[in-house]
Amino acid sequence: MSATELSKPPRLASTERSLCGWGRVSHSRARVITPRTTEEVVHALEQSTGAIARGAGRSYGDAAQNESGDVLDMTALNRVISIDPERASITAQAGATIAQMMTSLAPHNLTLPVVPGTRHVTLAGAIASDIHGKNHHRDGGLARHVDTLTLCTPAGDCRKISPETDPELFYATLGGMGLTGVVVEATLRAEPMAAPWVLASTDRTDSFDRTFAVMAGEERHRYSVAWLDLLAEDSRLGRAVVSRADPWPAERAAPPSGRPYPRSLSPRPSLEVPHGFPGALVRPSGLRAFNALRWRSARKEYERPVALAPYFFPLDALGAWNRLYGPGGFIQYQFVVPGGQEGQLVRCVQLLRKRRLPVYLAVLKRLGRKFGGPLSFPLEGWTLATDLPAAAPGLIQALDELDEIVAGCGGRVYLTKDARMRPEALAVMYPELNRFHAQRATVDPGGVLRSDLARRLGLCESA
């Protein structure tokens, strides 16, 4: 055996597994490697001919899969490394979850400035998706609140970067779907938390036009979101429950009741959908009745105390809720249209209705101005997220039509949720792809970083 062979690190153990996203579609098999140190991440990239990092598997589509290649399961690198109460910042490893970080920040009366709709997302997954929350119109997405990243690349380096030291690579990584390197550690800015509550106000609208009128008014609240009923008939289509909230004010005494915080961030749900749940039980007729009940039971309220965890993560109360759609899974189609293009969003809703597609869940949010890298999703305007059963007849053709409407008005589809978009649509929606490819050419000249999504959309090809 040569000296060169003796100096090579041993190949990391791997297990072949079938993987899919949270939508439970587009399954593929890969060799799954679980690195436990930064050095093992570097070794895995050195030894691999094609790899992508994966966190908690909460990306809806195929972004964290790699057919016949390597997938680096980063969940073992899950420590919260440090908290600086004076600077209000937290440093954690890639696999630390939103729940872990919020739990660690709570004793210091701090919390995260931006959170997605589930507490189970990992830090590196949140960075790869440049997550946004109910407060994007006020606080932007995660890209505004990251100080530094430690990034391992196939070029052979593992370095700390920031907006000051390497802005192009830094922002290409925020929203870059894991294709510029493997994030192993990051430092985020935190914010003060007077109490683990929000003051929530609820309104109810009876039509899509009225929903828009309410949401488009002057927004004085920190958090804002609307649940839409897109199964309602006739003029009731698009009726909504609009929820707005603000952080608990420091001068006000917190309510004495509620589940203790941060224990309410525990990953154990009170109820879980079982394996093998028959998706046929969830039918449009039943959900139409459920939506009607939900809409009628929504009372107009003003500044009602709501605990932090159930307000931000309502779906986490039901474990494995994605099994409700049965073995066929579902597609979450989330898109954004720029401000001034509200009519095109209405066209999208009308197309879904015309094609008789059952939209089981629909959420409308207002987004603030664009900020971040070439693949960051948010644009100033309106984003609609819709859950549709993957087996619905005519779904893919209808979504292709929606892509044309969205791209035609300057909008885009959220890659973290995507499972079927075509590459020609991507090029229109994300016009700064050359900037992204330029960074990949620098940090991954051999094209090691690849995923099912990247191959499907041409993101792992050269510029």
User: Per-residue pLDDT averaged across 147-169, rounded?
Assistant: 96
What is the rounded CA–CA span in Å between residue 329 and residue 442?
37
What is the rounded CA–CA span in Å between residue 413 and residue 429?
7
CA dihedral defined by 349, 353, 356, 360, rounded to 10 degrees?
60
Q: How confident is the model at residue 279 (pLDDT cuts 50, 70, 90)?
A: confident
Q: How confident is the model at residue 262 (pLDDT cuts 50, 70, 90)?
A: very high
Question: Under CATH, which architecture does the 197-247+279-426 domain have?
Answer: 3-Layer(aba) Sandwich (3.40)
pLDDT tens digits, one per residue of 286-329:
889 999 999 999 989 999 999 999 999 999 999 999 999 999 99
pLDDT for the residue 8: 62
Question: Which residues does residue 223 pair with via DSSP β-bridges, in sequence order?
Answer: 245
What is the rounded CA–CA span in Å between residue 181 and residue 42?
10
Judge whether 132 and 114 are in contact, CB under 8 Å: yes
Q: How confident is the model at residue 3 (pLDDT cuts 50, 70, 90)?
A: very low
pLDDT for the residue 148: 98
Could you tell me the two tokens for 443?
């940090």
Per the prediction, the chain carries an average pLDDT of: 94
pLDDT tens digits, one per residue of 391-438:
999 999 999 999 999 999 999 999 999 999 999 999 999 999 999 999
Question: Under CATH, which architecture does the 76-193 domain have?
Answer: 2-Layer Sandwich (3.30)
Spell 169-185 as b/e; 16+ CB within 10 A means b: bbbbbbbbbbbbbbbbb
pTM reported for the whole predicted model? 0.95
pLDDT for the residue 157: 86
pLDDT for the residue 278: 86
Could you tell me the two tokens for 177?
């779907």
Taking the mean position of all CA atoms in its chain, how far away is CA 248? 25
Residue 433: CA count within 13 A, CB half-sphere:
17
In the block, tokens 């709501």 appear at 306
- CB under 8 Å to 455, separation ≥6 — which residues? 67
Instruction: Please state, in angstroms and as integers, the Cα–Cα distance from residue 74 to each residue in 10, 40, 304, 305, 367, following that order.
Output: 19, 11, 39, 37, 30
pLDDT tens digits, one per residue of 137-154:
999 999 999 999 999 999
pLDDT tens digits, one per residue of 192-237:
999 999 999 999 999 999 999 999 988 999 999 999 999 999 999 9
What is the rounded CA–CA span in Å between residue 459 and residue 62?
13
Sign of CA dihedral 174, 177, 113, 242: positive
Instruction: Please state, in angstroms and as integers, the Cα–Cα distance from residue 27 to each residue in 14, 36, 68, following that order.
Output: 18, 26, 12
Side chain identity at residue 383, one-letter code: T
What is the rounded CA–CA span in Å between residue 127 and residue 387?
23
pLDDT tens digits, one per residue of 360-387:
999 999 999 999 999 999 999 999 999 9
User: Per-residue pLDDT averaged across 47-61, rounded?
Assistant: 97
Domain ranges of the chain: 76-193, 197-247+279-426
User: Per-residue pLDDT averaged across 81-90, rounded?
Assistant: 98
pLDDT for the residue 257: 73
pLDDT tens digits, one per residue of 88-140:
999 999 999 999 999 999 999 999 999 999 999 999 999 999 999 999 999 99
What is the rounded CA–CA span in Å between residue 24 and residue 141?
26
CA dihedral defined by 303, 305, 307, 313, rounded to 10 degrees?
-30
pLDDT for the residue 463: 42
| % of the chain exceeding 70 in pLDDT | 98
| % of the chain exceeding 90 in pLDDT | 88
